[in-house]
Amino acid sequence: MIRYFVYDAEYERDAAGHALYQAAEGFDPEGIERLRDRDPRIDMRWVFKRPVAISWLVLEEEGGKLVPGTLHSLGRPELTEQELLTSFFAAVGELPREVPLVTWGGSSSDEPQLRLAGLRHGLRVPARLMAPFQPGKRFGSGHVDLMTHLCGDAARVHLAEICAALRIPAKTVAPPDATARLIAQGKWSLVKAICENDTLSTTALLVHAVAPNYCAGSLSGTLLGLARAGARQAHRPYAQTFEAWAADLVRQMSLQVLVDLAAFA
């Protein structure tokens, strides 16, 4: 039974759209007009991000334990933006109603960006990605943003920060500020690898968050399943890191067994 649907997406900059916005503002990019910090006439905001890759993974419940499903990844150059969105929306639309979408920071990035992209193409956007027309309700009812859940009222942190604290591999393909360059260079295999790595890392965070709701040993077992899922992607540059993570988890689990046995000696 599917319990969670975890996804991540990567985006390219819509320079043509941003140029239209600059023209509407009467702004000359070559001028010497005094600018405020993070002026949207210079710094593109989220409305000028267009999806180029989306990865997702489901967590299934079997015998009181969470089990990772297949890691999916779609994007350029095989699919156009419209085809990518159509395939992703179809996958979301096939989910049982009670299964939430899970992201890291998606309520302020992926959810509105994918929603806007879908509307731009005239696509039927899944209800889970649509914000309701109700005052005070900004997010779709089928979305769990782990950044909001895990950070609470504390400062929002980067995915790599919280993963480092929990010893979860993250951003092993390239640093975040390199993604835009790789997209501009058309290095789509690496872009998909970045997207997949983020999906695996976010899923591991979700496992930590929900493990208390499952039977003993579910945390270690599910994390090991995720590590092995990443290690199986031998064509991706993150595979070796996930293989090392799997070996480390096995060592930890073996040590815990010895500790438990010693307690009954």
pLDDT digit string (tens) for 116-130?
A: 999 999 999 998 888
**What is the C-alpha separation between 66 and 207, in angstroms, rounded?**
8
Pairing of strands 2-13, 101-103: parallel
Compute the C-alpha angle 184/188/191, nearest 5°. Answer: 85
Number of domains composing the chain: 1
pTM exceeds cut of 0.75: yes
Answer yes or no: are the C-beta atoms of 78 and 53 closer than 8 Å: no
The 10s digit of each residue's pLDDT in 51-87 is 999 999 999 998 888 999 999 999 999 999 999 999 9
Range of the domain at 32: 2-263
Q: What is the mean pLDDT of residues 210-224?
A: 83
Please say if the pLDDT value at position 132 is more than 80: no
| Res 110: pLDDT | 96
Query: Which CATH number goes with the domain that contains 164?
Result: 3.30.420.10
Structure tokens at 144: 């769990």
**What is the C-alpha separation between 79 and 85, in angstroms, rounded?**
9
Please say if the pLDDT value at position 158 is more than 80: yes
Q: Which residues contact 123 (CB under 8 A, 6 or more apart)?
A: 82, 85, 86, 89
Banded model confidence at residue 263, pLDDT cuts 50, 70, 90: low
Query: 73-77, 168-172, 252-256: lowest mean pLDDT where?
Result: 252-256
Closest CA to 117 of 87, 96, 138: 87
Report which DSSP code applies to 156.
Answer: P
Please say if the pLDDT value at position 170 is more than 90: yes
Percentage of the chain exceeding pLDDT 90:
74
